[in-house]
Structure 1
């Protein structure tokens, strides 16, 4: 199988991964970005709260980012799915083109097509999947009439009929955020157990609480959101739904490498990183939604930029050590 080496391999070509590649490309690093082409926000026609790009396509942002990277000759962005990863010994494996200088960690990746890649450092920025509540019709509305983030899509639903479809009691806060934007908000408990305090807080602000179970999300003949049907047959009209999917990080590479993970307040377990994105595995960083489901586009871009700078600094430190060692040997 073909083997190729890079200074840095970035798994994920979203906001975080491309931002890291930009920093590394500007430092004249040889960088490969592997992009599966399925960013988390691909269902959304517009992104919001992104300074200078408000109400523009998230896919256009990524296309512009890839175009910007073309000026840096060391950066390559292409499709690819990493299926396996492992740390290498200090010396390069037989057959690899990696520099066997014995001065730092190395990581080997295997892609779905059998290609093998080696890198001095690895950044995982592969995002996450939103596991939606199993309500018929909800998936068809995702990104169109149904959303997750009040800050990302709430303004567009202002002064309209808003439904908050609970997967857990955590959506109480989501409903309270939506109340800032409309006087017509209904909280569909959908089996979530509300504390007396939470229920009182909803009612006190004029938020209706619907305890009857939800049967389906209903669209009109044109596919536009029409309402929510209850199991008793009643249909309640709504203009926008805000739901709370379960975040599932796309982290098989980090799992294979044995990176430390920890429970997240929003559910699930996510990789543990420091302020610069470094994981517990030497030579491996992570950034964006694969580390935190709350990471919006601006946060992901910032995290990727910081990780790219940190990785370059780490490589420089390794090169200083190698130069000093070579000087001692010569002298």
Structure 2
């Protein structure tokens, strides 16, 4: 290997960072893996002379992966218009829930406030260019001059995109991690106990009167096609579902860095629920039931990764 040839170990070491970026951009771990894999495929398809001419392979890979994600976000909007029911970002397990063995790729996604479900749902409301500009600048601290090369806009335009995205985040009132996690753990436990006791009054008391619950079955399993709105309606719906599924076991688990619940049937995870709370009441519940989004929660994993 010549002294100017990029070190393969250093190049592969960028994968952790690239997976973290791609998951936040796409809201899907499997799609993030595919995007990063494609970026590496393009790198290794270049002749050695072109690789040696790249001043920063990490920056090159980030740019290429960012462009791939930007294209995927554009096509995803079309696909999600045809999606059966609500589309919810793919939930991530916490490290304590992962099985023994390799933790790549989910270990690549740092558990901070930029992966909590409420934050990811806000990202879904952004345009593809807004999302790329905001995630790269506000989460990963990339300068707008570099982001401009990914979204094909001027640095000033990228600054405006990030500012617009920032306003969406502020409007959604996504809470800070530490305070939200402490209060959420208590509420989630009480919610679990009320569900197990089939105590509709207790459930109503834990839910904000204007709460909403969305379920993602992807047309593959049963799930409410439209969000259930109102604390009382959600409580009634949950009690109804409990009566229809007597064999379910509820477990307290970390979901995207926050306290959440996992429903298992015969040892297999069939639902992962993430929560958002305001003023000591649950305001949003996101229940992911699509089995394609739950592979990281079950023993078979994704591409051999035990999570």
Name the TM-score class by shorter chain.
under 0.3
> What TM-score do the two structures reach when normalised by structure 1?
0.26
Q: What TM-score, normalized by structure 2, do the two folds share? A: 0.27
The structure that is helix-richer by fraction is: 2
